[in-house]
Structure 1
Amino acid sequence: MAWQRSPVFLSLLAVLVIVLCLTAPQLATPSVRASTSPVAQGLVEQGRSLYDRDRFADAVQVLQQAVAEYAATGDTLQQAIALSNLSLAHQQLGEWVEAGEAIATALELLQTQPSSPAQQSIYAQALMIQGRWQLAQGQAEQAYDTWTQATTLYQQLEDESGSLQSQINQAQALQAMGFYRRASNLLTDLVALLETQPDSATKVLVLRSLGDTLRSTGQLQQSTQALDKSLAIAKHLALPTADIYLSLANTKRMEILEKQRISSSGSFGEVPVQPELFNKVFQLYQLASQTGSPDTRLQAQLNTLSLHVELQQWTAAQALWRPIQAALTQQIPSRSTIYNHIDAADSLTRLRQAETSIAEPTWGDIEVLLLRANQQAQQLGDTRSQTYALGSLASLYEQTQDFAAAEELTRQALFTSQIYNTADLTYRWQWQLGRILKQQGDRPGAIAAYTGAVTTLQSLRIDLAATSRDAQFSFRESVEPIHRELVDLLLQPDRDPSPAELEQARKTIESLQLAELDNFFREACLDAKEVQIDEIDQQAAVIYPIILSDRLEVILSLPRSDSAQDSSLPTLYHHTELVAATEVENTTGLLFGFLSNRQSNARIPPLTTKLHQWLVAPFESTLQAERIQTLVFVLDGGLRNVPMAVLYDGQQYLIEKYSVALAPGLQLLTPQSLRPQRLSLLMAGLSQQRPNFPEFRPLPNVVSELQNIQTEAQQADISSRVLLDGGFTKLSLQTAIDDVPAPIVHLATHGKFSAQSENTFVLTWDGIINVNELDQLLQTTGINRRPIELLVLSACETAKGDDRAALGLAGVAVRAGARSTVATLWQVADASTALLMERFYKELVRADVSKAEALRRAQLSLLHPAESDDPRFSQPYFWSPIVLIGNWL
């Protein structure tokens, strides 16, 4: 299908495919009016022919003559077009200085001409070419501004096609800056605009770009849908499909890895990989390689190489080395070329680490790739790429244990990244420097470097949360380890940490909790504020366990003591349990399985006793001496899936001695207790099974649960409202929250907590409400709007087999805007839940009872049942899964 052209425009294809890299950019035959110089016109036609045959150097010579001829005849508009096309030819040769000069001259000439539709059209297209040059130079922000200016001109000219293409380019620049959500929103708007229009190459490009952006934000299903649409239209119009196959392969690859991560039961170590699942991915990469341009072929080969390495298919990976090496030498210098060198070096480094006996590639071969990347970055004047190349070369020397060279280059990369404020690279080089100094025995220097990395990450919260889920910002590979390794340095088993080191370790754990929630939501939506425990509750203690590879570190935080040497610090105690991370995860996994299976009651005490010995027993005498009444746990890893109330000291459960609460960190708490005189209650529930969700069984006792709670509320003079079954829809809940001032919201319905926000939801009569929608519903502003003090989810469960499913529970708790959340970790008989909830509210309405104490008393009433109660409910299966997250007052 031919591209529609206007006589005053450069080829629209030339502008568009430059940015999206689908094919080599094409020159047009520009004509504003009859050329004043037939000679110049002939030169332009000759230059276009040479360019189309990839004879870019010859095209440069001919176009230079055309520029001179137009200058001699004073045809400024034609001269500007020739200069713009000359810039394109220079860019194809990697002659970036000459390309920049040509397009700058073109724009200067156009600025001297009176405004007219022809002048504005040519100016807009020159801006498109300048933006392409800027992006290739690593100037993404400038490229975005340039293309925004072009969009404004196209819209003034009512040129819809030009406007669309300039906005597509803006999305590319936004992605280059890491603003994936903004890019996704922009492209989604463009797709909607194109929906009613005939299929076209523009629609193919927008859908593919949208698919790539959605993948970057972790929306893999939506990414596949957009890419499938793009592929179908491209096939129908007989357009190239190689780049779409490449994009589909990348999305399919991430889908498989995400599913395998969730199915993995352990939080530590590598996720087991099933190579056969990736056959379709390899096929798609092969299709992209066979039919694509040289750049697309190389990208497919690089991705195939990294996948072979990931699957430990060493022979197949080694076979790709020579073809990739040859292809890299043919690429012109650009930022993408530099990154291709670095990506190849990274995969080959992992290959050499695993297969030390292979003849090639040698460490020297890999070093050559990174030296060339650094040299090209210097030639381009691309500071960011040079910083990346230097740091990657230092990483290579770290792997080969040349620590002196590694330290020197890392410091160079770090200095440059700090000078030019590339914080997303700064934290990586700070982390790398910390590792290198640790290897050289410089513990203080390593701690300082790691501390800098954590501080930089905190400053990057918004950018990191919104950026790609790909390897560059993989939370579990590039963020989480920094926090754990810093705690490891601060709390060495062979030495007693100072109070300042303990406090830094505690704050690092808090920072990790916040980072995990940012990663869960893919945005930094949480307002963190440093709070000390004594500012909340003088009779509460906080326990921070953190799982390291070879041990479990536990910190106890008590209210500040006036007699302490430094009263500005909380009173901290510390215990090291020499137990491997694998044992912690295995223990918690087994315990969760036994607790959530009512037939496994006899197997529970040994495991709950072990956890008590790890987490609480070392501090028991201190807790008693300080008369602590409430224990607050800031949990880590698989420990989140275990209700702490069930910890057992051999004689008593923890809940028999303390009120228990969970918190994702004190910095996310709002210290305020319930005010009984202001209480009101909104309840909603489902008792019937929904046909569209057969996996969720009926909850017949929900009716009595809500009725009994309503009775308790009436006796305490608390107003209440109930939405049941067909009356409980998403709309009715939103309306009720807007209309009724209810600081307590109770949802007696099925729900699921997952490590993925899109799979964390509660069920309504007409569908599901995911965690982000729940946030919007509960924080809707109405005339009588009051903050939600307490959110109760009485029939939910964590996703089985998901080691971080309880993170979804914490996510609901903090995102919903409620100061406190009560929820269930697994589904239990709804009769016992109904009874426990009734007694919870009976205690909650008392003026002197905190939420944590109310829950404790309700759980104890099941643990030690009255004669009229069902004795089966004394099993932990029935009473322990109810947990309180957030403010316990």
Structure 2
Amino acid sequence: MWFYYLLQDNHRRASEVIEASLRLLTQAEADPEVLADIRISLAYSLTQLGKFAQAKDHLRRAIVIAAPRANRTLLADLYFSLADAYRKTGEPLVAQRYFSAALELDQTTGDFAEAAISQLKLGSLAREARNYADAERLHNSALLLFQKNGSYREIVAAIELARDYAAQGKLDESRDLLQRKVLRDARTLPEQLLDAKILMLRIANDYSALGDSSGHGKSLAAGLMRDIQALLDASAARQQTDLTAPTQRLQFAEQAIRRQAIERDTAAVIARGEATIELISRVAAELRASNNDGLAWLAQAQPVLNEYVKALYELAPERILPLLESYYDQPPDAVAVQHSGVIGRAFEAEAIRRFDRYIAAELDLVDTASANPDMGNAELLQHLRMRDLARDAYLAGHESRPASRLPRRLEAMARKRPPRIPAGDAVLRYFVQDGVSFGILATSSGTEFFPLPPRSMAQQLVQEALATVQVANVSFARQRSALSAVRQLLPPDASLERHGVRRLIIVTDDAVQPLPFAAVDISSDPHVYTPLVSRFEIVRTKSIARYYARQPRNTGRDKAIPATYDAVVFADPATKRSVRLASMQLEATKGWTERLAGLPSARREAKSLAAAFADRRVKIYMGADATSQALLAPEARTARLLHIATHGYYNSATPGIVGFATAAVDKQRGFLGLTELFTNRFSSRLVVISGCETMRGRDYTGWGVRSLADGFLTGGAGSVIGTLWSIPDRTTAEMMSVFYSALRRTNGNTAAALREAQLNQLESPQSHPYYWAAFALESANRRFDRHLF
């Protein structure tokens, strides 16, 4: 019956009958492998209904049960299905690892037809990574095998190959392949027909972009729009939900908005854009509620938003700022640790064991990747797989919460008056994406747009600027050239001067997030370096409305836990290396946590803070006392000011894993990652993370970087000072001494104090931006960065 409903494209009924069989088999205590196989079918239908989190949950549970039995065929199917779910929710690297694992298992069992299906998916991931040669090779190979076997999957392979051609601009080849191999084949199922027609619409739009204004192309596109909408409407009616085929709906929305913008149909563009954003947000809410990566899904949906914003930029620019404020105001991702900690109950004990295995696998990956920077991809891949499996095993026992609230409708947001921006402030909001790139300057006088270079050029300017400031021995001429060139990413001087701007409030996106704005050269004299921070206080934020809100959102304070201290310092933890040297154990070291040296200057940072706030309640954790438990204790989490001076971890090979070094005593790991760190919320008004690269992390297109600094803000902190690159220990301590003296003198004006510390360093012998420009302030609300206490 499941197969019958599948062929009828009725996944609502398909999921109902397969869930019924799963209940019956469970009651009959059927073979767990049979139950696992049933879950694969159920997961497929759930993904077609937009219930990705439920699908992943079934597959994870099945893998936990099936893995000990070593049934390679079953495990390959499970890995493949979970990989497909990860791919559809925007996690291509995790998907690639699971697809590769499925391929290897199928090859060992000699099932080359199943192996070809995994190759097909790996080819699609290669195309999305713009490795077109690999994509075509894998898709051609799969197509030939399916043709030889007479499998209907040759239709799927033909569609993927046509996508390869279209991505490279081979529009004629793509269209001809679809017409020969897909649209005329009676075996084509509704899902493949939808894929093919959406691709045909994209091809029609691409022809229009190349200047084809023939009436035939316009009528063809109109016919495709009607056909695709009819297919989606019919599917939604069968499933009784408008979330059916969400990934295909996104692809169609992107091309439909393109077509409607070409025809300058503003009302249709707005209606399509609003409906699509509601779809995106509903899926994201379900993923967040189950501790899946909702940000990954949102990043995958970015091309649709880009197309919508591009159309509005041409047709209705006044709607763009309300749109961006509403869309990027999605609720933060949930923390992936929800067990209660009550070990007395069996299921809690098992949850904690699985969580410990997950964290241990993550730490093993940290140490291995750091100890072997040149290790082959195969070795790194194996450690990443172990971490994937450990994480999914933990999440398999996780109970989902109700879905998060949805953002307010865009029309309501558009009608709401924008926040009042005080005189002297200027807000820069960036939108630097594929196909559309601009900045918005908002002041007390109004709003204006300023053009920006294309995304690829903006990224190149940022990277060239970073290359000159991340090390101290770059020549003055090269530094000036790069830091002057990046001036293109700021509004014209005349605009800032006209409004009497003294403070810049910057809403970045991922393309410009790494830019050290403080160091941008604004001098007109080629022999004089004048950094941006010499004229302005600089603050980053996520949302203009939230930043200027009269009442800040709840910062995470647990009212049942009163603040014990005004300031808590966490500094220079006893590392594994220092503990080993103290005990005269000189064995060879291997990983990141094993090789960390002490931070004597961090102790000076602690003393300077204590001196600046001698009349306040200050608690210091150093050496063996600077444990993970200390940083997670209520005393640290509720302190008005939390200063963390320790080693930060970031590795470009594993950008999703960031963390701190903590004291490696009493058999403790000596590492606190993002997952563990935010098991509880933080309510500090200011968190200063004086460690290396604490504003680096995984890049989510359009949404910025998920870093330690971002994690504290998401976890409830009011404002955070983090770093954009590795910083020197001694000069950092000197800067922090000036910063805390200025912070006390300015009555807690964090932006002004940071500016004073940076300008003081600029006048010192260590004046190169390497020593001071890595520090950046991000704030949730102006009350936090202007008044610490």
Residue 658 of structure 1: which of 521, 527, 536 is its match? 536
- Once the two structures are superposed, the pairs formed by residues 257-268 of structure 1 within 5 Å of their partners are none
Is residue 197–residue 224 contact of structure 2 (8 Å, CA) maintained in 1? Answer: yes
Indicate whether 1:432 and 2:223 are aligned: no
Distance of 2:207 and 2:71 partners within structure 1: 52
Q: 1:723 to 1:884 in 2, by over 3 A?
A: same
Where 1:701 maps in the other structure, the secondary structure is helix
Aligned-residue Cα RMSD (Å) equals 4.8
Distance of 1:520 and 1:367 partners within structure 2: 47
5+ residue gaps, structure 1, are 1-129, 228-245, 251-283, 332-336, 562-570, 780-786, 865-870
Aligned equivalent of 1:113:
none
Is residue 218–residue 469 contact of structure 1 (8 Å, CA) maintained in 2? Answer: no
Is residue 491–residue 502 contact of structure 1 (8 Å, CA) maintained in 2? Answer: yes
Residue 684 of structure 1: which of 556, 562, 570 is its match? 570
Residue 513 of structure 2: which of 621, 636, 640 is its match? 640
Q: 1:878 to 1:154 in 2, by over 3 A?
A: same
Indicate whether 1:858 and 2:732 are aligned: no
Is residue 510–residue 699 contact of structure 2 (8 Å, CA) maintained in 1? Answer: yes
Distance of 2:469 and 2:640 partners within structure 1: 32
Where 2:687 maps in the other structure, the secondary structure is strand
Larger fraction in helix: 1
Is residue 661–residue 885 contact of structure 1 (8 Å, CA) maintained in 2? Answer: yes
Aligned-pair distance for 1:817?
2.2
Aligned equivalent of 2:610:
710
Where 2:133 maps in the other structure, the secondary structure is coil
- Once the two structures are superposed, the pairs formed by residues 542-561 of structure 1 within 5 Å of their partners are 542-547=427-432, 552-559=437-444
Aligned-pair distance for 1:626?
3.8
- Once the two structures are superposed, the pairs formed by residues 507-518 of structure 1 within 5 Å of their partners are 507-510=322-325
Higher relative contact order (Cα pairs below 8 Å, separated by 6+ residues): 2
Aligned equivalent of 2:144:
323
Q: Identify which range, 607-616 or 596-605, moves more after superposition.
A: 607-616
The letter of the residue matching 2:742 is E
Indicate whether 1:299 and 2:117 are aligned: yes
Indicate whether 1:797 and 2:693 are aligned: yes
Distance of 1:202 and 1:319 partners within structure 2: 24
Distance of 1:856 and 1:454 partners within structure 2: 39
Q: 1:428 to 1:525 in 2, by over 3 A?
A: same
Distance of 1:194 and 1:762 partners within structure 2: 35
Aligned equivalent of 1:395:
202
Is residue 694–residue 722 contact of structure 2 (8 Å, CA) maintained in 1? Answer: no
Where 1:823 maps in the other structure, the secondary structure is strand
Q: 1:594 to 1:314 in 2, by over 3 A?
A: closer
Aligned-pair distance for 1:287?
3.8
Distance of 1:418 and 1:825 partners within structure 2: 47
Is residue 414–residue 426 contact of structure 1 (8 Å, CA) maintained in 2? Answer: no
The letter of the residue matching 1:776 is T
Distance of 2:2 and 2:604 partners within structure 1: 65
Is residue 540–residue 631 contact of structure 1 (8 Å, CA) maintained in 2? Answer: yes
Q: 1:558 to 1:772 in 2, by over 3 A?
A: farther
- Once the two structures are superposed, the pairs formed by residues 361-440 of structure 1 within 5 Å of their partners are 363-372=175-184, 376-377=188-189, 387-398=194-205, 402-417=217-232, 420=236, 421=242, 422=244, 423-439=246-262
Distance of 1:447 and 1:740 partners within structure 2: 43
Where 1:684 maps in the other structure, the secondary structure is strand
Q: 1:134 to 1:474 in 2, by over 3 A?
A: same
Distance of 2:287 and 2:200 partners within structure 1: 24
- Once the two structures are superposed, the pairs formed by residues 86-165 of structure 1 within 5 Å of their partners are 130-159=1-30, 161=32
Residue 742 of structure 1: which of 613, 635, 639 is its match? 639
Distance of 1:770 and 1:671 partners within structure 2: 33
- Write out per-residue CA displacement over residues 204-244 of structure 1, whole angstroms, 9 at most, x where no aligned residue: 4686468636854678898899x7xxxxxxxxxxxxxxxxx
Where 2:624 maps in the other structure, the secondary structure is helix
Residue 596 of structure 1: which of 447, 470, 473 is its match? 470
Distance of 2:3 and 2:291 partners within structure 1: 22
- Once the two structures are superposed, the pairs formed by residues 668-679 of structure 1 within 5 Å of their partners are 669=547
The letter of the residue matching 1:792 is V
Aligned-pair distance for 1:465?
7.3
Aligned-pair distance for 1:589?
0.7
TM-score of the superposed pair, with normalisation by structure 1: 0.62
Where 1:641 maps in the other structure, the secondary structure is coil
Q: 1:519 to 1:643 in 2, by over 3 A?
A: farther
Indicate whether 1:844 and 2:743 are aligned: yes
Where 1:640 maps in the other structure, the secondary structure is coil
Aligned equivalent of 1:240:
none
Distance of 2:769 and 2:405 partners within structure 1: 33
Aligned equivalent of 2:723:
824
Aligned-pair distance for 1:706?
1.2
Indicate whether 1:763 and 2:665 are aligned: no
Aligned-pair distance for 1:794?
0.8
Aligned equivalent of 2:775:
882
Aligned equivalent of 1:341:
155
Q: 1:658 to 1:407 in 2, by over 3 A?
A: same
Aligned equivalent of 2:627:
729
Residue 284 of structure 2: which of 434, 455, 461 is its match? 461
Percent identical among aligned pairs is 18
The letter of the residue matching 2:450 is H
Aligned-pair distance for 1:345?
2.2
Aligned equivalent of 1:312:
133
Is residue 119–residue 139 contact of structure 2 (8 Å, CA) maintained in 1? Answer: no
Distance of 1:835 and 1:672 partners within structure 2: 35
Residue 458 of structure 2: which of 565, 581, 584 is its match? 584
Distance of 1:424 and 1:467 partners within structure 2: 19
